[in-house]
């Protein structure tokens, strides 16, 4: 047998799609953007937003385009990274479609509702999918779980938690992101110490925000650092339950 043995079998011809796991944090809980499917299959069911990759279009570009179409948000203001490729035969009843899933993180955005694809989109608490209240079309629950695990891990090692925050933000805002994504309460004092000690994580802008109640909090914007050394460990939690 020669090296070309697998060339004898015709390569499968298929279609590529991108699916997006778009996370945000609203009132202390992690939400994901879901759409209600307007076409068969799974018509009327909840699914991750996504669409087909076009001719001559790069994967990242397709993901950016879908993100823009689904959220109406300017391109570069959201964090977007490739998550995983899903290509099991039979994952889509329409045929052989492999999906490149992307993870997007953003602040709690005003969702444009009219005149765009986003009209069918809803922010949904992630917990309501994890506990089975809502089921997703295709293999989208698996994709969502993988995206959640990636987001949780990224918070430990990188500064992307700031992508969830609208600038300027307070240390408490940032802490709520961690608590929502990890599902754990954190000690405010220790959290602040770790964040402040990491050079370039957040930069004070010298102003303060007056809350409804309590002492005013210092305001910050994102720093230039991308990686956390040392990492923020998930273990340092307070057990309030």
Task: Give residues in contact with DNA (CB under 7 A).
Answer: 170-172, 187-190, 192-194, 196-197, 208, 210-218, 230, 233, 235-238
> Reduced to 3 states, what is the DSSP secondary structure of residue 107?
coil
The Cα 162–Cα 170 span in angstroms is: 10
> Residue 85's binding partner, choosing from a copy of itself, DNA, none, with beta-carbon cut-off 5 to 8 A by kind?
a copy of itself
Site for a copy of itself in 195-224 (CB under 8 A): none
| Of positions 27, 28, 55, 240, contacts a copy of itself by CB under 8 A | 55
For position 15 contacting a copy of itself by CB under 8 A, the verdict is yes
> Max CA-CA distance within the chain?
76
What tokens does 187 get? 């000690």
For position 189 contacting a copy of itself by CB under 8 A, the verdict is no
* Sequence-separated contacts (24+) of 190-199 with Cβ below 8 Å: 190/236, 191/236, 194/232, 195/171, 195/232, 196/171, 198/159, 198/225, 198/228, 198/229, 199/223, 199/225
> Residue 196's binding partner, choosing from a copy of itself, DNA, none, with beta-carbon cut-off 5 to 8 A by kind?
DNA
> Residue 212's binding partner, choosing from DNA, a copy of itself, none, with beta-carbon cut-off 5 to 8 A by kind?
DNA
> Residue 145's binding partner, choosing from DNA, a copy of itself, none, with beta-carbon cut-off 5 to 8 A by kind?
none
> Residue 55's binding partner, choosing from DNA, a copy of itself, none, with beta-carbon cut-off 5 to 8 A by kind?
a copy of itself
- Closer of 126 and 171 to DNA (Cβ): 171
- Closest approach, Cβ 238 to DNA, in A, equals 6
Buried b or exposed e, range 63-83, using 16+ CB within 10 angstroms: bbbbbbebbbbeeeebbbeeb
What tokens does 3 get? 């090296």
For position 84 contacting a copy of itself by CB under 8 A, the verdict is yes
> Residue 214's binding partner, choosing from DNA, a copy of itself, none, with beta-carbon cut-off 5 to 8 A by kind?
DNA
> Reduced to 3 states, what is the DSSP secondary structure of residue 135?
coil
* Residue 77 Cα distances to 44, 71, 107, angstroms: 30, 12, 10
The Cα 118–Cα 56 span in angstroms is: 25
Footprint of a copy of itself (CB under 8 A): 1-7, 9-17, 35, 38-39, 51-59, 66, 69, 82, 84-89, 96, 98, 100, 115-117, 119-120, 229-231, 233, 235
């Amino acid at each position: 047998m020669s090296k070309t043995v697998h060339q004898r079998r015709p390569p499968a011809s298929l279609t590529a799609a991108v699916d997006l796991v778009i996370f945000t944090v609203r009132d202390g809980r992690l939400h994901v953007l879901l759409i209600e499917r307007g076409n068969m299959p799974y018509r009327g069911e909840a699914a991750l937003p996504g669409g087909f990759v076009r001719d001559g279009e790069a994967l990242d570009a397709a993901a950016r385009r879908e993100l823009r179409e689904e959220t109406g948000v300017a391109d570069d203001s959201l964090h977007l990274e490739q998550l995983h490729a899903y290509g099991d035969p039979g994952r889509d009843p329409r045929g052989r479609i492999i999906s490149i899933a992307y993870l997007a993180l953003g602040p709690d955005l005003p969702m444009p509702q009219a005149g765009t694809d986003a009209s069918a989109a809803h922010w949904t608490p992630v917990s309501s999918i994890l506990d089975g209240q809502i089921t997703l079309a295709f293999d989208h629950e698996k994709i969502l779980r993988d995206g959640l695990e990636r987001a949780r891990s990224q918070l430990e090692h990188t500064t992307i938690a700031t992508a969830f925050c609208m600038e300027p933000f307070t240390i408490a805002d940032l802490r709520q992101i961690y608590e929502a994504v990890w599902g754990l309460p954190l000690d405010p004092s220790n959290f602040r110490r770790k964040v402040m000690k990491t050079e370039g994580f957040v930069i004070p802008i010298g102003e303060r925000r007056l809350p409804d109640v309590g002492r005013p909090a210092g305001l910050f914007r994102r720093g230039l650092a991308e990686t956390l050394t040392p990492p923020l460990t998930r273990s340092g939690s307070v057990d309030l339950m």
